[in-house]
Amino acid sequence: VLNNSLQDILARRARQKGKEVLWLPGTDHAGIATQTKVERELKKNEGLGRRDLGREKFLERVWDFKNEHGDIIIKQLKRLGCSCDWSRERFTMDEDYTKWVSHVFVELFKEGLIYRGKRMVNWCPVSLTALSDEEVIMTPSKSKLFFMKYELADAPGEFLEISTTRPETLLGDVAVAVNPKDPRFTKYIGRKVRRPFPAAEIPVIADDHVDIEFGTGALKITPAHDKADFEIGLKHGLEIIDVLTPDGMINCPELPEFHGLDRFVARRLAATKLEEMGLLIKIEEYDNNIGYSERAGVPIEPRISMQWFLKYPCVKEATDAVANGDIKFRPERWAKTYGHWMANLQDWCISRQLWWGHQIPVWYRKDKLDALKSAESLDMQDFSAGDIHVGLEPPADAENWQRDEDVMDTWFSSWLWPFATMANVGEDTPTLKKFYPTDDLVTGPDIIFFWVARMIMAGFRFTGELPFKNVFFTTIIRDLKGRKMSKSLGNSPDPIDLM
């Protein structure tokens, strides 16, 4: 209500000044939120999962759900009196809009900016998909810090004390890291300690990343299950041992008592085993922030996964546009937040293991399918070799190819909104000429990077111009518990009821 009321004020004021105004309404397809809702209803009402139906039949159910519920927001806006041009309503899964999304993927892939590779991502063990940071809710929690000790391999009876919040992942430990500036541990660097289970000798390494003040100051390194550990592992060339399945179960056939256990059950068992071996020193409670899947409501897992990634285009232009005042942020303080985001960009994980959304426009040769799916990376080199096809249409001999099952992050369609809603691919319409670049964007500061920054980069790359001139940031409306209003939490009231 707040956001659209402000947009309505801007539109009506401009009309009063005699300006021709376009306020174009529309909605995105809310990929994971919509699919999760349909899957829950399917399970509840029919006891079926999406794979029981198959992709085509499941998507028919999703479209039925969209057609039944998708216009609720539009009806609410109309009842509120929003002065949009309702004849121009758009949806991110419209046929013409979908062509834009695929076109952008193909263009950026051929520029070498999109590639497939193994990286650490946010992973939901219930939805079984990668998540954007925006879909992860950081929740203050009471956590347990486990203090334990590993025996020195060259000095039986001498131990190195370490601390961890996740003893269940010690099955994948490949090193213990200490800060080289910490005099307590200088004598241990370069030596080895004994991992208790499965039994193995692992090195003690020095890394500036280790926080001297946290826990004992010695950090167990599990590159497959922690973002910081992953970066340390890459830096030191450490082995990556994945001990969790995609659904959060222990994967360690060497230890039958652990293999197949839920991650939290395994945490308790690991603590018990350490205690029995005389290696558990103590357990302390401490305040921690844990990332939860917004839709599934469970703790996420940092997981190394094969995904599609984008190296952002036009970063300098987008950074300078705000720094130079070509795009004005109101309040101005948000420009600093924007600048921080832009200075610390990481490649964008654009693939999702869902069926509802824009399917990745990549096909694999069936006779090379196994090799291509297990390849460490895929890029233009594989395209040039003829092993993969990337395009708006399938290959002519489509029967010899299999399409990538993943879809794109919903934000990959939303970042095109300012221009993709005004013209089809390759067209230069009167609407685009008259109303693009747009004037004003009203949004919340929580998506300053996920949407605002990306729209600016996309605008520069695909039109050569800024997408808008002013960005007005609203406050974030919260409930009595201080939580952001969210459909998934059920704490967002229907504005019509308030009326």
Per-residue H/E/C for 282-308: EEEEEEEEEEEECCCCCECEEEEEEEE
Q: What amino acid is encoded at 257 in this protein?
A: E
Same domain for 104 and 146: no
In a domain, 379, yes or no: no
Please tell me the distance from the alpha carbon of residue 10 to that of residue 430, in angstroms, as a whole number: 23
Same domain for 151 and 32: no
Instruction: Write down the pLDDT at residue 11.
Output: 98
In a domain, 189, yes or no: yes
In a domain, 483, yes or no: no
Is there a contact between 207 and 236 (Cβ–Cβ < 8 Å)? yes
- pLDDT 10s per residue in the chain (499 long)? 889 999 999 999 999 999 999 999 999 999 999 999 999 999 999 999 999 999 999 999 999 999 999 888 899 999 999 999 999 999 999 999 999 999 999 999 999 999 999 999 999 999 999 998 888 999 999 999 999 999 999 999 999 999 999 999 999 999 999 999 999 999 999 999 999 999 999 999 999 999 999 999 999 999 999 999 999 999 999 999 999 999 999 999 999 999 999 999 999 999 999 999 999 999 999 999 999 998 899 999 999 999 999 999 999 999 999 999 999 999 999 999 999 999 999 999 999 999 999 999 999 999 999 999 888 899 998 998 899 999 999 999 999 999 999 999 999 999 999 999 999 999 999 999 999 999 999 999 999 999 999 999 999 999 999 999 999 999 888 888 887 777 666 777 777 777 7
Same domain for 279 and 343: no
In a domain, 298, yes or no: no
Same domain for 281 and 353: no
Same domain for 211 and 335: no
Same domain for 260 and 213: yes
Number of folded domains that form the chain: 2
Same domain for 183 and 78: no
Same domain for 288 and 145: yes
Q: Which of 293, 321, 338 is the last residue of a domain?
A: 293
Q: Which of 293, 326, 350 is the last residue of a domain?
A: 293
In a domain, 229, yes or no: yes
In a domain, 398, yes or no: no
Please tell me the distance from the alpha carbon of residue 349 to that of residue 346, in angstroms, as a whole number: 9
Pick from 127, 54, 65, 113: which is nearest to 93 by CA? 65
Same domain for 188 and 82: no
Is there a contact between 41 and 48 (Cβ–Cβ < 8 Å)? no
Pick from 364, 360, 222: which is nearest to 304 by CA? 222
CATH number at residue 46: 3.40.50.620
In a domain, 202, yes or no: yes
Pick from 116, 99, 137, 132: which is nearest to 32 by CA? 132
Instruction: Write down the pLDDT at residue 480.
Output: 83
Structural domain range at position 281? 137-293
Per the rule left: phi > 0, alpha: psi between -120 and 50, beta: everything else, 208 is: alpha
Same domain for 469 and 339: yes
Q: Which of 236, 260, 293 is the last residue of a domain?
A: 293
Same domain for 90 and 157: no
Q: What amino acid is encoded at 255 in this protein?
A: L
In a domain, 18, yes or no: yes
Same domain for 335 and 287: no
